[in-house]
Structure formats: structure tokens, C-alpha cells
Amino acid sequence: MKTVIIKYNAGNTQSVIYALERLGVEALITDVEEEIRSADHVIFPGVGEASTSMNYLKERNLDKVIKSLKQPVLGICVGMQLLCAHSEENDVECMGVFDVNIKKFKNVNGSKEKIPQMGWNKIYNLKSSLLKNVKEQEFVYFVHSYYAPVCENTIATTDFIQPFSAAIQKDNFYALQFHTEKSSDAGAVILSNFLNISAN
């Protein structure tokens, strides 16, 4: 089984590598189209800023490559946001795999939450084989200032200021706002579930 992590202008690939190694899986970090297309599973993680990340992908045609993939693809954090239609982070058009726009957290109705959200939060209303054996109200780890609203593709919800999508899915594309690689046992279960999803 060949697992590829997409290399682009965003950090956090090394912690994903370590998480996969704990599962006994070796992954290749690459931005080479042929390597990405030949993978059984593709992971698209990220910590960074949306517009510079999209520019990097477009310069290398990777945005079109990612959108056309037929094998299971997992977006994590910024990787999730770039798979959506648009981000308020520097007003950037993203890949549009998911027809949902990424919003910036704003304190409303007198809320005084500290933005970005950093730390452990519960997920609920779990759907999809990606979340098999993960308990309702399980804690996972978030670090972000932008979010995807709850939508038809939502497979897990969480609350910070308001309910939003902790995870979304459409066809072979799966995406998580939280960091599996920092989410302890629950994160390991989700990564393992992803690697057990077979390509159609």
C-alpha cells in the first residue's frame, strides 16, 4: 500500500509522518504528480495561510491534480479548508471539492472566546466509516481561526462560538478541521480507518 503526503507551502507534515509511523505505515512526502496519482491513499495536511498555500498549489498545477484524484484523500486543517470553495482568509478562491465557504471566527452575542481556538474539543453527530469506533463526544485537538459551517457534507460537528463542521466528506474526499496527528488515540483510530478505506 502506497501512502503519499502532499508537499506544499504549509507545515505540519512531519507530525503526520510520525503519526503514520506509529501505525506502522511509511509515507512519501511529494509534490510530483505521478507519485500522487499512483498512491493508494493521499493525505493533504497543513498549518499555514490559505492564499499563499493556494498560490503554491496553482503554480505547480497541484490544485487540478488533487481535485481529479479518485483514491481516498484526507485533508487536515488548512488542507480541509483548501478543499472548500472559498476562504475568508485573504479572500481566496480554493479548490471547490466541497461547496462550502470557510469563515473567520467572530465573537457574537456577547461571547468572549479567545480566537484562535486552541486545544481539545468534543465532536458529535458522527457519520461515515472514517469515524468508525470513535465515540460520540470524543475529544480531539484543534488549532484554527477559520471554520467550515455545518453543511450537507458534515460528518462530525463541534462547538466553538457556534456549531461548525469538525469533519466533512464527499465521495472519496474526507476532511478534518482537527489534527488527527495530535488527537491521541482517537486520532490514531481515524488515521487507521482512513488507511483501510479502499479506492473505488
The whole-angstrom separation of Cα 108 and Cα 36 is: 42
> How many CA atoms are closer than 13 Å to the CA of 41, on its beta-carbon side?
20
93 annotated active-site: no
Candidate list 77, 89, 138, 144, residue with the active-site label: 77
Q: Please calculate the CA angle 43-49-142 and round it to the nearest 5 degrees.
A: 65
Candidate list 41, 84, 138, 179, residue with the active-site label: 179
Helix, strand, coil % over all residues of the chain, rounded to 5: 25, 30, 40
Q: Are 107 and 87 a contacting pair, CB within 8 Å?
A: no
The whole-angstrom separation of Cα 87 and Cα 68 is: 21
The whole-angstrom separation of Cα 139 and Cα 59 is: 37
Helix, strand, or coil here: 107?
A: coil
Amino acid occupying residue 24: G
Q: Are 141 and 176 a contacting pair, CB within 8 Å?
A: no
Q: What is the DSSP string of 42-56?
A: EEE--BS-HHHHHHH
35 annotated active-site: no
Q: Which residues are catalytic?
A: 77, 179, 181
